[in-house]
Amino acid sequence: MEQVIGNISVLAAMPIFNLGLLIDGLLVGSIFALAAYGLALVWGVMNVKNLAQGDFIMIGGYITWTLGRMGIDPLLGVPVAMVVLWGIGWVLYRTVISKVITRDLFTSLLATFGIAIVIQQGLNLAFGPDTQSAHANLPTLSFAGGLITIATTRIVGFVLAILLAIAVILFMRKSRMGQAIRATAQDSRAARVLGIDTEKVYSFTFCLNAAICGAAGALVVMVWNVQPFLGTTYSIRLFVIVTAAGFGNLPGVIAAGFGMGVFEQFGGFVLGAEFQQALIVLLLLAVLAVRQLQQRRVRQAVQ
């Protein structure tokens, strides 16, 4: 407790520290926003809530880490992880997701939960339980006489995440496949009547999301670290973000992603890093409780 008060007084006494945390928060927030967008996409188009989202991110991280050990710059891990995850997404879609997509919510939750466990155990077998990170060969910048330090990797990660998000959003707006995906999300029956192959749309959407996770994972392993069982905390973060914003609300999802990054940085600084995960779970509970209250109000209004 004393320590918490001490940390808060540090922030109050040195505004420059707030700025540092804010910048860091936005940097990691951009990665959250990207992966949350992918989660919202699959949720909105296929009505599948992908509990393995964080584990896809871990795979992307391990791919990049492996490349790093082979002497390949982790930045190259971004495209490689995207391609590999696209392939993994395709196989998973064909073998599992396509079979549960028309079923109820519970079945698809169970299926993606199963996928998450298989990925975690697989990563544990392949890489062991240790935490790993990959370092791009980039310097750390310091400002304000060393009070603020920003790793260039984080800036590069930020820029890449933003560029990728813009690319995906443009793709969804302009390309014919993007239009077909949005049409299917809005009314799948009408889409089929116009000759849109909704099966192909679902498969593409799932693969696209997996690729987005691959990129996010490559960035995560550069600015942070990966560990076989860390995916779950990412999944929870992303569900908090998407639930808070509403899955149909794209600007909201992106804003909430940044918000999450900033919130975590300040929370972690004030409470200590060891409480950061507890904080995320608390946030999930809070968001779910608020949503529940909102829905109850709607239900009452309907009656």
List residues near another protein by CB under 8 A. 176, 179-180, 182-183, 186-187, 189-197
Identify whether the C-beta of residue 257 lies closer than 8 Å to the C-beta of residue 36: yes
- Tokens representing 106 are 């519970």
Chain mean position to CA 48:
16
CA torsion sign, 218 to 223 to 225 to 231?
negative
Closest CA to 274 of 2, 4, 53: 4
Q: In the 8-state DSSP scheme, what is residue 146? A: G
From the CB of 288, what's the least distance to another protein, in Å? Answer: 26
Single-letter amino acid code for the residue at 103: R
Residue 181 or 241 having the CB closest to another protein: 181
Minimum distance from residue 179 beta carbon to another protein (Å):
6
Q: Which is nearer to another protein, 87 or 246 (CB)?
A: 246
**Cβ 248 to another protein shortest distance, Å:** 8
Residue where the block lists tokens 């109820």 = 104
Residue closer to another protein (CB basis): 18 or 188: 188
CB-nearer residue toward another protein: 181 or 211 = 181
How far CA 165 is from CA of 49, 74, 244, in Å, comes to 20, 20, 19
- CB 61 to another protein: min, Å: 34
Judge contact between 73 and 137, C-beta under 8 A: yes
Query: Which CB atom, from 75 or from 183, has the smaller least distance to another protein?
Result: 183
User: CA angle at residue 85 from 80 to 89, to 5 degrees?
Assistant: 155
75 or 191: CB nearest another protein? 191
User: Whole-number minimum distance, CB 183 to another protein, in Å?
Assistant: 5
Is residue 133 within 8 Å of 224, Cβ to Cβ?
yes
Identify whether the C-beta of residue 123 lies closer than 8 Å to the C-beta of residue 103: no
* 135/173 with CB nearer another protein: 173
The nearest distance, CB 210 to another protein, in angstroms, is 25
Strand partners, 150: 141
Number of Cβ atoms within 10 Å of the Cβ of 15: 8
Residue 100's CB is within 10 A of a number of other CB atoms, namely: 18
**Smallest distance, Å, CB 244 to another protein?**
20
181/210 with CB nearer another protein: 181
Q: Cβ of residue 190: shortest distance to another protein, in angstroms?
A: 4
Report the residue count for the chain. Answer: 303
How far is it, in rounded angstroms, from Cα 92 to Cα 96?
Answer: 6
